[in-house]
Amino acid sequence: MVGDTPFKTFSQDPRSRILKDYLDKNFPNANYYSAYEASFSGFKTHRDLVNLGIKNIVVNPADIPTTDKERKQKEDSRDSRKIAKQLSQKDLTAIYIPDVEIEGDRSLVRYRKTLTKEIARTKHRIRSQLYYFGIEIPTQFSEKKYWSKKFTCWIQEIELPTESAKLALSGHLEMAEMLRKKQYSTIKEIRKLSDKKIYKENYDLLISVPGIGTLTAMILLTEIGDIKRFKNLDKLCSYIGLVPMTNSTGENEKTGDITVRKNKILRTAIIESSWVAIRNDSALMLAYQKLIKRMQPQDAIIRIAKKLVNRILSVLKNKKAYVQAIVK
């Protein structure tokens, strides 16, 4: 668009330099503005555009005003014109772009979560193989949730009907062991991150809060980035996904379940930490006991999670370690 006038809709190779050359050729010495939807591809395109002198923003696809017709007839050309028009009218809100270093560290922290999922899947495959060949798991192993070394040794000693079956089971065991070692080395690297200058002060503040350990602290620091971008607790809880869905029509206002819009990694980490926190903080345990008298434990822990987030926000903004209260 040029001003309020649509100029042209076209396709090009997805390279920032090609776009910049096109703009310089057709609109020399102009002010260039662009926007694109956040996606799997990260923020390199954004940084390239900015370095080339194009004032770019990245927007959450869910925040782009869309009509019902546009949702049902989605096309790249229509979407691009819509984004261009809303950008010219200043109706788009940019999302936070993390520092390159933090973005890289975030990838490492997320990789640890990926490994955890893959280990769980591999162990499930091993158990499925045992059931497939009609091998019953002894009671001392079947009743335990964790995977012990003794259980691994027992599996290795199992006699299977064919050599092929034994090779398949051994392959799954080797995969589980390889993933476990990779997970261990990744956790060591994440612990090293906590000593980096950009994290050290805030990391020490976070682990002073009951329920927050090394991994959760690094998830918070790499996912949140600059805590100052959240003006208050409600803004931070909204970003994490700890607020309810609402539906207000006239005088009727309904409050539903917890919102589906969230930072999945952050919300999972905070809720898991909340279960730990109530066992280590008497004030939170007391609050939890009062809550479960009038609601389900799953709903009560969300309330506790908000209290935990309030403590996190407080220690990071005030730069003071948390001091646990004593409940008499």
Whole-angstrom distance, CA of residue 313 vs CA of residue 163: 58
Give the residue from 61, 88, 115 where a domain finishes: 88
323 within domain boundaries: no
Give the pLDDT of residue 43: 93
Do both 205 and 169 map to the same domain? no
Do both 46 and 148 map to the same domain? no
Q: What are phi and psi of 94, to 5 degrees?
A: -75, 145
The β-bridge relationship of strands 33-37 and 55-59 is: parallel
Do both 127 and 182 map to the same domain? yes
Residue range of the domain that includes 264: 197-318
50 within domain boundaries: yes
- Reference 313, options 213, 240, 215; nearest CA is 240
2 within domain boundaries: no
Indicate the residue type of 124: H
Do both 202 and 288 map to the same domain? yes
Do both 78 and 169 map to the same domain? no
Report how far apart, in Å, the C-alpha atoms of 223 and of each of 215, 226, 238, 266 are: 12, 9, 14, 7
User: Quick one: 179 exposed, middle or buried, by C-beta within 10 A (0-12, 13-18, 19+)?
Assistant: buried
Do both 71 and 83 map to the same domain? yes
Show the tokens assigned to 129.
């193989």
Do both 211 and 248 map to the same domain? yes
Do both 229 and 307 map to the same domain? yes
- Which mean pLDDT values do the consecutive 10-residue runs of the chain (328 residues) have? 88 92 94 93 92 95 82 83 92 93 95 95 92 87 80 89 91 94 96 94 95 96 93 93 70 65 92 95 93 93 95 94 74
Do both 313 and 218 map to the same domain? yes
Show the tokens assigned to 12.
């090009």
Contact (CB, 8 A) for 76 and 41: no
Give the residue from 193, 212, 246 where a domain finishes: 193
- Helices 264-277 and 233-240 sit at what angle, rounded to 10 degrees? 110
Do both 214 and 301 map to the same domain? yes
Do both 188 and 201 map to the same domain? no
Instruction: Indicate the number of domains in the chain.
Output: 3
pTM across the whole model: 0.87
Is the C-alpha dihedral spanning 87, 89, 91, 96 positive or negative?
A: positive
Give the pLDDT of residue 164: 92
According to DSSP, residue 251 is labeled T
Do both 77 and 106 map to the same domain? no
According to DSSP, residue 136 is labeled P
